[in-house]
Amino acid sequence: MGFLRGIYTFDYMGHKKWWFALSGTVLAIGLISLFVRGGGNPVQGLQYGLEFKTGTRITVAFEQPAELAEVRTAVAEAGYPNAQIQQVSQVAGTDLAGFLIAVEELQPEAQAALREQLDGAYGIAVADGSELWSQQTVGPTFGRLVVEKSLEAAAVALLLIMAYIWLRFSSWKFAVGAIAAEVHDVLIVIGVYSLTGREVTTATIAAVLTIIGYSLYDTVIIYDRIRENTPKLSRMPYGDMVNRSLWQSITRSINTTLTTLLPVLALLFFGGTTLTDFAFALLVGIIAGGYSSIFVAAPIVTVFKEREPQYRRLAARAAEEG
Amino acid sequence: MRNYLNVIILIVVAVLVGVALYFIVPPGEKTFLGLDLQGGLEVVYEARTNAGEVPTAEQLEQTLSIIDRRVNGLGVSESTVQQQGADQISIQLPGVTDAQQALAIVGKTAQLEFFKNDPAARPVGPVASREAAIAEAAKGDVPEADIEQFREGFDNTDDWALVVEPAETVTDAEGDEQVIPEAWYVYRRPPELTGAAIASARQSYDQFNRPNVLIDFTSEGGTEFQRVTKELWRDGLRSGQSATFAIVLDNVVESAPRIDHTDPTLRDGISGGAEISGSFTLAEAKDLALVLNTGALPVQLEPIQQAEVSATLGKDSLRAGLIAGIVGLALVLVYMVAFYRFLGVVADLALIVYAILFWGLLNAIPVTLTLPGIAGMILTIGVAADANVVIFERIKEEVRQGKTVRSAINAGYSRGFRTILDANILTILTAAVLFYFATAQPKGFAFTLMLGVATSMLTAVLFTRALLGVMSRIRFFARPAFLGVTGEIAAPATLGSAAGARARGRRPAAAAARDDGRDPAAVSTAALEGAAASGDDPAGRPQAKPAAATSGGTSSTGARRTAARKRKRRK
């Protein structure tokens, strides 16, 4: 339990440089991953989901048993040698096994031709009077729209958050600390997605935007305590005062993070495909958010504040006495 | 007096829970499920004018209302047709199983045109391919600009239309099947008649009992149709060969009726209605009648995103979401009790009340529940618990500093509330931005998140406060141990007795000393020094320990200084 007690006595602000170095390293790893996986273009360093790509995804079940390799050959013969084909144990809504075929965007005639060819070879299964053939086509504009809108949303959200914190804590120093923590959290989520090669979907983007809002919870808790302690402990060097504020608020920082992580974990393990996507991004973001409120936001405020003349004097006096 | 207020709040919450239950029970029947949970079809269309430009706001609005009518004609309940951005239309059709059919109806431009088939109206055709038709048109009097548009893939310009007559298999007199290949034409606009001339259309059968579509014209349209057919009859008489006209729907020749010039009854043209008889299946004829009735779209629609969810998949997703929600809630309930004991029970009650109120609210508004919406709901469970964590930690802190349970509760709420408000406003702010900017899916998530965070303020703050306020009047509950605070209280905590109530406002000794010394942690620790850290409570113990454990480092400065001041006071 030494560690547990330690968190209430640790000199967090005395080790600022270590935290900055740690965050910097993690962010750098993420960035390198983006560049390496993107072949020099960081935007390409993520696995984008179907909604960001131009293409057609077909789900089909056949009457005749078909082997993956055979279907691949058939699709290639139809003129799509680059198609991605996957066997699925159960086509949604049926008990039949089938295939997932992802090809570049198909024109209606090409779709019909492919359908006819596969029907001729294996016979497309029929259930409830309709053929088990469904397809999803996405044009390039939709993905672009989603990304554009999300970037707009993120920018507006960050500006609003900045303004609100500036207003509530009457200092731009707090606002800068909070925004830095935010950007840190979002970049970590992006980095983790790049490293793990997880698919980025619209759900992921919504989750990231939510993290922007929620990860401030802990930051606000700590800021509040700092604000409360500032007049009370006005003779203490700023870093010590922040340390004390952290000791006093760390239990609730940990508990608020855990109480939110519990439902997110439930979502991750029981939620099914789409919700799992959401939950994973939230999981990474919430952990990063809990970390960054203590190790990014508070130290940045301290760095700025310690430069103010009154705190410089206090620090000097403390060094003398120390 | 405060107590009356608390009792009233509890009664109001109880009533609200009752109302919410009314909206919930029987569960499953009163919740509107989104497409992803129910199964169905979602399409996003991009709208373009004939010239490939972004449509005007007016055109888009018109398109939306026409699509709305078509969707209603499909008989899909709870469908939504929404504008998205400046030029996109998103359509959700829950429960639709035949996606192809629905798409054919909803997105069909349904531009109906009647052209004469004479060289003036149809300078090009029949030729075998689109390219051939364009090449032919370039030689004639179609301007270069229009040809350019055709080459870029557009079939329509303001003055010309590129039209195809699909290949057809016919059975000749000997019973042999013959394939008539497709043929391409270029027609000159404006046509003799458009869909605007139609008053109503209905599916019927022709003399061979094949499905067809009968059209009734408006009075104006009827006059025009009569004029055209009269002219055609005369053309036939003049050339000695019956003239034909083409009924073109979205650049496809649906039928090309012949006006028999040898039939004298047609000499004044055809009055009344018209018949479109292609080789329709029954369903196709019905669909055509539906789109003709709702009118032509002023724009072309290109599906840019299309997703089908089967009903089974939807049901699976819903079950997974519910299980995740229940497990998540259960985990938080257990955690709160494990950590905050009696306070945890209060928080758990609040969480359960929250879950009921929130669900009831979603049903009552009603909010269509989507998968991302479920994620939003589950996340708000955590946010609701957070509020209680903040408040309870504060209460424990106050109790440890020697406040009575009652005044600690008051202080905990009034101080914790500001933190919670700030944090929740920031979450709501971000969700609102997300709601404003996002496309359909994340929108549902953002909305439930906003609604949930707002509701959680009611249950986690107002409700728990009232509950604790009432309980702290009862001797049995008004013990620090009930708050999960064990064995490290600065000054003997007064029980929540009448004396304690009066003591409110007056400061207990330790609290007064704290203000004096300007260093609460140091003072409370000084008071605690030597006190056995007894509790098995992981939260309480460390909070009390810090200064005692800090023999070195920066924090000791404060403690030492306080000690010095104390000595001075003693002199």
Residues of B in Cβ contact (< 8 Å) with A152: 437
Could you tell me where the beta strands, DSSP code E, fall in chain A? 47-48, 55-61, 84-88, 98-103, 126-127, 130-131, 133-138, 199-200
Domains, chain B, in order of start with CATH, read 2-33+312-482 (1.20.1640.10), 40-108+305-309 (3.30.70.3400), 112-296 (3.30.1360.200), 507-570 (no CATH)
Given CB atoms, is B548 within the 8 Å cutoff of chain A? no
Residue range B510-551, pLDDT digits in tens: 444 344 434 444 333 333 333 333 333 444 444 444 443 334
**Range among A150-154, A224-228, A314-318, B125-129 with highest mean pLDDT value:** A224-228
Task: Give the whole-angstrom CA distance, residue B333 versus residue B461.
Answer: 17
Mean pLDDT of A27-44: 88
More confident residue, B323 or B307: B323
Distance CA A47, CA A201 (A): 9
pLDDT value of position B179: 82
What distance in Å separates residue A36's CA from the closest CA in chain B? 30
* HSE-CB of B39 using CA atoms within 13 angstroms: 15
| Residue A49 near residue A203, CB atoms below 8 Å | no
Q: Which residue of B has its CA nearest to A203?
A: B442
pLDDT for the residue numbered B524: 39
Q: Is A145 within 8 Å of B85 when comparing Cβ atoms? A: yes
pLDDT bin (cut points 50, 70, 90) of residue A29 is very high
Measured between beta carbons, the chain A residues lying within 8 angstroms of B557 are 236, 240, 318, 321-322
Q: Which residue has the higher pLDDT, A106 or A18?
A: A18
Instruction: Output the CA angle A70-A71-A77, nearest 5 degrees.
Output: 90
pLDDT, tens digit (0-9, with 9 covering 90-100), for B175-200:
777 888 888 999 998 888 888 888 88
- For residue B419, which residues of chain A lie inside 8 Å, CB to CB? 220-221, 224
User: What tens digit of pLDDT does each residue of B121-171 get?
Assistant: 888 878 888 888 888 888 887 888 888 888 877 888 888 888 988 887 777
* Alpha carbon distance B446, B443 (integer Å): 5
Looking at residue A172, what is its pLDDT?
94
Q: Residues A6-10: what's their mean pLDDT?
A: 83
B328 contacts A265? CB cut-off 8 A: yes
Task: State whether A256 and B375 contact (CB < 8 Å).
Answer: no
Instruction: Using CB atoms, pick whichever of B317, B331, B429 lies closest to residue A262.
Output: B331
- Separation of alpha carbons B360 and B30, rounded Å: 9
Q: Which of A33-37, B65-69, B540-544 has the highest mean pLDDT?
A: A33-37
Judged by a CB distance cut-off of 8 A, whether residue A167 touches chain B is: no
Strands (E), B135-272: 160-165, 168-171, 177-180, 183-188, 193-194, 198-205, 211-217, 243-249, 252-255, 258-259
**How close does chain A come to B131, measured CA to CA in Å?**
17
A139 touches chain B (CB under 8 A): yes
Amino acid (1-letter code) at residue A13: M
Are the Cβ atoms of A137 and B303 closer than 8 angstroms? yes
pLDDT confidence tier of residue A17, bands split at 50, 70 and 90: very high
> What's the whole-number mean pLDDT along residues B190-212?
85
Q: Say if domain A55-138 classifies as CATH 3.30.70.920.
A: no
State residue B275's pLDDT score. Answer: 81
Assess A111–B contact: CB distance below 8 Å, yes or no: no
Q: Do A4 and B85 touch (CB under 8 A)?
A: no
Q: Does B335 lie at the interface with A, CB-CB under 8 angstroms?
A: yes
Candidate from A18-22, B36-40, B232-236 with smallest mean pLDDT: B36-40
Least confident of A33-37, B59-63, B503-507: B503-507
* Residue A75 contacts residue A85 (beta carbons within 8 Å): yes
CATH no., domain A2-47+141-321: 1.20.1640.10
> For residue A295, what pLDDT is reported?
94
Q: Is B337 exposed, middle or buried (0-12, 13-18, 19+ CB in 10 A)?
A: middle
Instruction: Classify burial at B218, counting beta carbons within 10 Å of its beta carbon; exposed 0-12, middle 13-18, buried 19 or more.
Output: middle
- What percent of chain B has a predicted confidence (pLDDT) above 70? 80
Query: In this predicted structure, what is the pLDDT of residue A26?
Result: 94
Residue B555 predicted with pLDDT over 50: no
Q: Which of residues 341-400 of B touch A (CB under 8 A)?
A: 371-372, 374-375, 378-379, 381-383, 385-386, 389-390, 393, 397
Lowest mean pLDDT among A15-24, A61-70, B385-394, B507-516: B507-516
**B350 Cα distance to chain centroid:** 28
Q: Cβ contacts (< 8 Å) between A141 and chain B: which residues?
A: 46, 304
| β A55-61/A199-200 pair status | unpaired
Torsion of CA B247, B250, B251, B252, to 10 degrees: -60
Give B-chain residues touching A237 at CB under 8 angstroms: 554
The two tokens of residue A282 are 């939230």
Average pLDDT of B219-224? 88
* Mutation choice for A interface testing from B422, B449, B560, B562 by most A CBs within 10 A: B422
**What's the predicted TM-score (pTM) here?**
0.67
Using a CB–CB cutoff of 8 Å, tell me whether A95 touches chain B.
no
In total, chain B counts a number of residues equal to: 571
Task: Tell me how far apart the alpha carbons of residues B213 and B275 are, in angstroms, rounded to a whole number.
Answer: 6
Look at A50-54, A216-220, A293-297, B284-288 and tell me which has the smallest mean pLDDT. A50-54
- Sheet strands (E) in B68-221: 80-84, 88-94, 112-116, 124-127, 160-165, 168-171, 177-180, 183-188, 193-194, 198-205, 211-217
CA distance A208 to chain B (A): 10
Distance between CA atoms of A262 and A286, rounded to whole angstroms? 11
Contact residues, chain B, for A150 at CB < 8 Å: 437-438
Cβ(B215)–Cβ(B198) below 8 Å: yes
Q: What residue ranges do the domains of chain A occupy?
A: 2-47+141-321, 55-138
The structure tokens listed for B398 are 């106050």
Name the residue of chain B whose CA is nearest to A163's CA: B426
pLDDT tens profile A143-202 = 677 777 888 888 998 999 999 999 999 899 999 999 999 999 999 999 999 999 888 877
Nearest chain A Cα distance for residue B504, angstroms: 22
Average pLDDT rounded to a whole number, residues A111-121? 78
Rounded to whole angstroms, the maximal C-alpha distance in chain B is 133
pLDDT at A23: 94
> Quick check: ipTM above 0.85?
no
The whole-number pLDDT of residue A192 equals 94
Sign for the pseudo-dihedral over CA of B541, B542, B547, B552: positive
Q: At what angle do helices B520-528 and B555-570 cross, to 10 degrees?
A: 70
Query: What are the φ/ψ torsions at residue B196 (nearest 5 degrees)?
Result: -65, -20
pLDDT, one tens digit per residue, over A67-89 is: 777 887 878 777 777 777 777 66
Q: Measured between CA atoms, how close is A143 to chain B, in angstroms? A: 9
How far apart are the C-alpha atoms of B199 and A128, rounded to whole Å?
36
What share of chain B in percent tops pLDDT 90? 10
Q: Which B positions 504-533 lie with beta carbon below 8 A of chain A?
A: 518-521
pLDDT tier at B319 (50, 70, 90 boundaries)? confident
DSSP-based three-state secondary structure for B545: coil
Asked if the C-beta of A138 comes within 8 angstroms of chain B's C-beta atoms, the answer is yes
Q: Please give the Cα distance from A114 to A118 (Å, whole number).
A: 6
Nearest one of B217, B520, B498, B506 to B398, comparing CA atoms: B520
B495 pLDDT above the threshold of 80: no
A-contacting residues of B 279-308, CB under 8 Å? 302-308
Once rounded to an integer, what is the mean pLDDT over residues B74-99? Answer: 77
When pLDDT is averaged across residues B339-346 and rounded to a whole number, the result is 87
Residue B421: pLDDT over 60 = yes
- Asked whether the predicted pLDDT for residue B559 surpasses 50, the reply is no
Quote the CA–CA distance of A247 and A250 in Å, as a whole number: 5
Confidence label for B569 from pLDDT (cuts 50, 70 and 90):
very low
Taking the CA atoms of residue A244, residue A249, residue A251 and residue A257 in that order, the dihedral angle to the nearest 10 degrees is -130
Tokens describing residue B178: 């013959």
CA distance B233 to chain A (A): 39
